[in-house]
Amino acid sequence: MGFKIFSGSAHKEFGKELARHLDCALSNALLNRFSDGEISVQISESVRGKDVFIIQPTCAPTNDNLMELLIMTDAFKRSSANSINAVIPYFGYARQDRKVAPRVPITAKLVANLLQSAGINRVITMDLHAGQIQGFFDIPVDNLYGAVLFRDYIRHKNLINPIIASPDIGGVARARYFADLLGLDLVIVDKKREKANVSEVMNIIGNVEGKDVVLIDDMIDTAGTMCKAAYALKNRGATSVRALGTHAVLSGVAYKNIEESVLDEVVVTNTIPLHIEDPKIKVLSVAPLFAEVIRRIYHNESVNSLFI
Residue 156 and residue 74 share a domain: no
pLDDT digits (tens, 9 = 90+) for 207-234: 999 999 999 999 999 999 899 999 999 9
Residue 200 and residue 84 share a domain: no
Residue 140 and residue 53 share a domain: yes
SS3 127: coil
Residue 264 and residue 176 share a domain: yes
pLDDT digits (tens, 9 = 90+) for 30-83: 999 999 999 999 999 999 999 999 999 999 999 999 999 999 999 999 999 999
Candidates 4, 50, 191, 234; catalytic one = 191
SS3 68: helix
User: What is the average pLDDT value for the chain, to the nearest integer?
Assistant: 94
Prediction pTM value = 0.93
Better pLDDT: 191 or 2: 2
Residue 293 and residue 210 share a domain: no
Q: Is the pLDDT of residue 146 over 70?
A: yes
Shortest CA distance to 227 belongs to which of 207, 186, 269, 197? 197
For the chain, the straight-line distance linking the first and the last C-alpha, in angstroms and rounded, comes to 29
Q: Is the pLDDT of residue 193 over 60?
A: no
Residue 179 and residue 127 share a domain: no
CATH of the domain at 19: 3.40.50.2020
Beta-carbon contacts of 160 under 8 Å, excluding residues fewer than 6 positions away, are: 212, 239
- Predicted confidence at residue 306, as pLDDT, reads 86
- Predicted confidence at residue 200, as pLDDT, reads 63
Contact 85, 120 (CB under 8 A): yes
Residue 244 and residue 216 share a domain: yes
Residue 295 and residue 259 share a domain: no
Give the model's confidence band at 305: pLDDT under 50 very low, under 70 low, under 90 confident, else very high: confident
Residue 138 and residue 8 share a domain: yes
Whether residue 191 lies in the annotated active site: yes
Residue 158 and residue 112 share a domain: no
Domain containing residue 69 = 3-145+288-307
Name the domain count of the chain: 2
Q: Label the pairing between strands 3-7 and 51-55.
A: parallel
Residues present in the chain in total: 308
Question: In Å, how far are 101, 229, 276, 302 from 217, measured between CA atoms?
Answer: 24, 12, 21, 26
H/E element, 212: strand 212-220
Which alpha helices (DSSP H) does 83-140 contain, by range?
107-118
